[in-house]
């Protein structure tokens, strides 16, 4: 699951507020600026201006917008250095504006759409979440995030694309910190399109892999694996990790999965992984680590609130992961930091159960 406000590349550091920064926050116009970014992303203006500047009237016809209103928005985007206003009155794409194109590797387009259509609205439910313990999202939309995505296929495709981007940005850190070369069969539980598993298999030529996710995700995962040229080494199995019946493997990867759920649901997922794996198998959890005590600004705390807003899940401390694994008959055997904000938590069967 995505963190609210997270973007590609290296994440920003956590910060502590001062009186001046609180004043700046209250006085800022960032909500309106985000609205302008959303219009640019939603109307695909960066794609339309990819090659040459165009008059605002032509853009308005292409995207079914009111000519004068769009012209004013284009001027505002030029003021933000995302567009340029040419001498002839047409508008072009500024260097920064290329980040809103849909066809560049470091595109922010999907993140902007999700931020405006989902994350920002879901934050309105934070107070209700604090009062009830239920996710802020469900308070605002009347159903869960995943139900919402199932009801809005276009938004689901945007969400899936953003998850692929996040997986790719974190994959290098995981591979640098954890050795997958000794394993033989990796099951990426809740693996989505399979981007993280593809990165692992490309770096390790010996293991085979399985992407395990809901049926609605399976077709996209098969296409992604085929495009990566891994159809012979990796397959897709559709299923529900709460219902059991996970495919057999010796390594179960849970990347950005457990933080979506409360302890009861996480224990069920881990128990189902344990039931499918051999005595010498392992579970590799790739998540943020919440400090045992907050003594400085922490990004993990921001992500924890994001999960309270979006899913009702949480970020966890090492102690909490140890307890979670123990509840599923597993023990925490390794805790490995990475160059990303995420850590590796390795779980194995208790010695007595091997």
Per-residue pLDDT tens for 49-65? 999 999 999 999 999 99
As a whole number of angstroms, the distance between CA 138 and CA 311 comes to 8
* Contact status, residue 156 vs residue 150, Cβ threshold 8 Å: yes
pLDDT-derived band at 308, boundaries 50, 70, 90: very high
Q: What is the pLDDT of residues 246-269, one digit of tens each?
A: 999 999 999 999 999 999 999 999
170 vs 13: which has the higher pLDDT: 170
In the block, tokens 């902007």 appear at: 112
**Residue 241 to residue 272: CA distance in whole angstroms:** 7
Alpha helix locations (H) across 142-208?
A: 145-151, 153-177, 195-203
Q: What is the pTM of this model?
A: 0.85
The mean pLDDT of 169-179, rounded to a whole number, is 94
Q: What integer pLDDT is reported at residue 58 of this predicted model?
A: 96
Per-domain residue ranges for the chain? 19-103, 129-353
Q: Give me the helix-helix angle, 153-177 and 195-203, nearest 10°.
A: 30
> Exactly one of 71, 148, 259, 288 is catalytic; which is it?
259
Kindly report which listed range (13-17, 129-133, 202-206, 273-277) carries the lowest average pLDDT score: 13-17
Distance CA 33, CA 35 (A): 5
Tell which CATH architecture fits domain 19-103.
Orthogonal Bundle (1.10)
Does the pLDDT at position 6 exceed 70?
no
Distance between CA atoms of 188 and 344, rounded to whole angstroms? 14
Which of 17-26, 229-238, 259-268 shows the lowest per-residue confidence on average (mean pLDDT)?
17-26
Beta strands in the chain (DSSP E): 83-85, 91-93, 185-189, 208-213, 234-238, 251-255, 282-288, 330-337, 342-349
Least confident residue range of 215-224, 256-265, 267-276: 215-224
On the question of pLDDT at 18 being above 90, the answer is no
Task: Check: CB of residue 186 under 8 Å from CB of residue 218.
Answer: no
Q: What is the pLDDT of residue 351?
A: 65
pLDDT at 8: 43
Give the pLDDT of residue 4: 46
Confidence (pLDDT) at 17 = 79
How far apart (Å, rounded) are the C-alpha atoms in residues 197 and 203?
10
Quote the mean pLDDT of the chain: 92
Residue 240 pLDDT: 94
Is residue 259 flagged as an active site residue?
yes
Greater model confidence, 4 or 152: 152
Q: Please state which of the four CATH numbers 3.40.50.300, 3.40.50.150, 3.30.70.260, 2.40.128.640 is assigned to the domain occupying 129-353.
A: 3.40.50.150
Q: How far is it, in rounded angstroms, from Cα 352 to Cα 354?
A: 6
Q: Give residues with Cβ within 8 angstroms of 38, minimum separation 6.
A: 112, 113, 115, 116, 117
What CA–CA distance (Å, rounded) separates 45 from 301?
35
pLDDT at 162: 85
CA–CA distance, 10 with 341 (Å, rounded to integer): 9
């Amino acid at each position: 699951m995505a963190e609210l406000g997270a973007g590609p590349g290296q994440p920003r550091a956590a910060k502590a507020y001062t009186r001046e920064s609180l004043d700046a926050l209250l006085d800022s116009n960032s909500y309106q600026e985000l609205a302008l970014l959303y219009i640019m992303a939603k109307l695909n203006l960066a794609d339309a201006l990819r090659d040459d500047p165009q008059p605002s009237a032509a853009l308005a016809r292409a995207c079914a917008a009111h000519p004068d209103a769009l012209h004013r928005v284009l001027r505002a985007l030029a003021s933000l250095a995302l567009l340029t206003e040419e001498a002839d009155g047409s508008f072009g794409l500024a260097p920064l504006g290329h980040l809103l194109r849909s066809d560049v590797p470091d595109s922010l387009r999907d993140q902007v759409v999700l931020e405006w259509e989902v994350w920002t609205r879901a934050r309105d439910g934070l107070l209700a979440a604090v009062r009830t313990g239920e996710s802020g999202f469900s308070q605002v939309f009347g159903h869960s995030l995943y139900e919402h995505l199932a009801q809005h296929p276009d938004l689901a495709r945007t969400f899936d694309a953003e998850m692929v981007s996040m997986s790719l940005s974190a994959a290098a850190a995981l591979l640098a910190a954890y050795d997958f070369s000794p394993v033989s069969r990796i099951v990426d539980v809740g693996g989505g399109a399979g981007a993280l598993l593809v990165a692992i298999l490309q770096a390790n030529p010996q293991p085979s892999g399985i992407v395990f996710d809901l049926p609605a995700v399976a077709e996209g995962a098969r296409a992604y694996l085929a495009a990566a040229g891994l159809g012979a080494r990796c397959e897709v199995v559709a299923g529900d990790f709460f219902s059991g019946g996970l495919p057999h493997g010796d390594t179960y990867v849970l990347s950005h999965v457990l933080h979506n759920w409360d302890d009861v649901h996480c224990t069920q997922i881990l128990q189902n992984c344990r039931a499918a794996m051999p005595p010498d198998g392992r579970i590799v959890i790739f998540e943020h680590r919440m400090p045992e005590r907050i003594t400085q600004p922490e990004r993990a705390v921001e992500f924890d609130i994001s999960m309270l807003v979006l899913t009702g899940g949480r970020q966890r401390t090492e102690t909490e992961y140890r307890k979670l694994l123990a509840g599923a008959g597993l023990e925490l055997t390794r805790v490995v930091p990475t160059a990303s904000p995420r850590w590796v938590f390795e779980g194995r069967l208790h010695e007595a159960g091997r």
